[in-house]
Amino acid sequence: MLTRIDHIGIACFDLDTTVEFYRATYGFEVFHEEVNEEQGVREAMLKINETSDGGASYLQLLEPTREDSAVGKWLAKNGEGVHHIAFGTADVDGDAVAIREKGVRVLYDEPRVGSMGSRITFLHPKDCHGVLTELVTSAGTSSVEH
């Protein structure tokens, strides 16, 4: 069961400049920063608030580390802006199966490692009214053993 908006992913050309904008304009601070080599991105997670299920909501700023990454290709086509929305769940595997059974394409056969050690998968935007949608189980919150 989806429990919250985990994060909004925002693609940007320059992570440091974009972080500074969110810091100066809204007062958001970087909670976590990392490079995800598999996905070809450098990212910063800016915590917005805590949530009732023990998680949090974030803005995820994404700068491609290579042009052939999904975010790099997206930026080249669309420019900076909202890239995806992510919903939090305690069971990314179970929810992905349930959503697939409803006819929505799930992009990964098995969830992958995401930010801060989370487990993630994506839903095809053509099946989600044009919105690339991510399902996220935060590290340490899964109700299923893997």
Q: Which residues are catalytic?
A: 7, 43, 60, 84, 134
What is the rounded CA–CA span in Å between residue 39 and residue 84?
A: 14
What is the rounded CA–CA span in Å between residue 114 and residue 131?
A: 19
Nearest-CA neighbor of 87 among 3, 12, 23?
A: 3
What is the rounded CA–CA span in Å between residue 67 and residue 73?
A: 6
User: And the tokens for 14?
Assistant: 């320059």
